[in-house]
Amino acid sequence: MNPPVRIGFFRKEGGRIPLLLWLKSLPAIEREDIGDLIDRLEREGNELSAPATAALAGYPNLFELRSRVGRVRLRVFFCWLPNGVAVLLDGLRKTDAGEQQRALSRMEGYAQLAKANPVRHVIYDLAPRGN
């Protein structure tokens, strides 16, 4: 069994974490399903396969975690850093191809920022800090 994969979250300038903002907008059942999928990515790493994950054609090093809750298709976009960290970029409820295409362009930019400056754009510890 492989050691767990380290999971990071993309952080925009100003500190916002797009994936967390998106997750907060989802109903609890969808959040739980996405959480389970992220746990699987952490446990299985690049051995996680379809239908749970897929590489995105035309976007080198961009991948998606895939979930379906009822008729709702959910996607979490991520990339791999050279050190093996999976950086979760953002998510969407897949409703039409145009929406996904716009999201992919945005994800490509996020991935480039994360790789160019992981110290600034990747956060690992999401636990609240005490005073």
| pLDDT at position 82 over 50 | yes
The mean of the pLDDT values for the chain is: 87
* Confidence (pLDDT) at 52: 94
The CA R_g of the chain, rounded to the nearest whole Å, is 14
* Confidence (pLDDT) at 97: 66
With 0-12 / 13-18 / 19 or more C-beta atoms within 10 angstroms meaning exposed / middle / buried, residue 93 is middle
| pLDDT at position 35 over 80 | yes
Average pLDDT over residues 116-131: 71
Percent of residues, the chain, with pLDDT higher than 90: 52
Considering the domain 7-116, what is its CATH architecture? Answer: 2-Layer Sandwich (3.30)
Average pLDDT over residues 59-73: 91
Q: Which residues of 9-39 are buried (b: 16+ CB within 10 A; e: fewer)?
A: bbbeeeeebbbbebbeebeeebbebbeebbe
Stretch among 16-25, 85-94, 122-131 having the lowest mean pLDDT: 122-131
Domain spans in the chain, listed from the N-terminal domain onward? 7-116
